[in-house]
């Protein structure tokens, strides 16, 4: 019986090439998944750093205005926000920022649960989330401080009758008679 070793070698090479091709395919898909993961991590970090920058900018602006409101001269009958539109908007903004803060904290907590992330990925994400969380929290606080400053100013601008009341009951009675 004659065995053609050339045919056997060619079949073996063909099988090895198929296995090799499969290995190369797996390696390429793993590489693509890694690149996609790195892109996702980088994109998330960039977005969070950008969010922190925007929030810090708004925070500086609101803190500056808040200082102006706090030092503004109070003139009887002259209000900053007579209809409480700014007060309501600042309260709503602070509430929305607190909701965003909750979302950011939850997302940060999920970083360590993702088995695909390596140590340096986790560290980058944690740092970026910390920056964003801190910036959002500071802005929410600034909104509440600004709201309080406007309310304080406008309460101080309320017209006064000049009448002093000896007791709370006397004040209440005066209000009932008004």
12 pLDDT above the threshold of 50: no
Confidence of residue 173 (pLDDT cuts 50, 70, 90): confident
Which token pair is 111? 């970083």
Supply 98's token pair: 């607190």
- Label residue 162 left, alpha or beta by phi (over 0 means left) and psi (-120 to 50 means alpha): left
Q: Residue 160 has what pLDDT? A: 75
Going 43 to 45 to 49 to 55, the CA torsion angle's sign is positive
How far apart are the C-alpha atoms of 111 and 126, rounded to whole Å? 8
Token pair in block for residue 106: 């939850």
Domain definitions of the chain by residue range: 37-157
Average pLDDT of the segment spanning 55-74: 94
Q: Which residues contact 108 (CB under 8 A, 6 or more apart)?
A: 125, 126, 129, 130, 133
| pLDDT score of 22 | 54
Tens-digit pLDDT profile for residues 96-136 = 999 999 999 999 998 888 777 777 888 899 999 999 999 99
């Amino acid at each position: 019986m004659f065995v053609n070793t050339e045919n056997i070698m060619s079949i073996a090479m063909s099988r090895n090439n198929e296995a090799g091709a499969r290995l190369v395919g797996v390696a390429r898909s793993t590489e693509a998944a890694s690149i996609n993961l790195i892109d996702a991590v980088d994109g998330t970090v960039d977005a969070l750093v950008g969010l922190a920058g925007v929030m810090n900018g708004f925070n500086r602006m609101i803190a500056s205005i808040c200082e102006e409101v706090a030092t503004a001269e109070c003139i009887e009958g002259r209000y900053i926000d007579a209809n409480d539109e700014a007060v309501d908007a600042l309260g709503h903004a602070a509430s929305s920022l607190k909701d965003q803060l909750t979302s950011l904290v939850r997302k940060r907590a999920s970083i360590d649960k993702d088995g695909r992330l390596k140590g340096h990925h986790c560290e980058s994400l944690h740092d970026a989330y910390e920056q964003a969380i801190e910036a959002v929290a500071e802005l929410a606080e600034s909104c509440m401080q600004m709201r309080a400053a406007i309310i304080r100013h406008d309460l101080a601008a309320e017209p006064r009758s000049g009448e002093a009341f000896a007791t709370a009951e006397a004040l209440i009675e005066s209000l009932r008679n008004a």
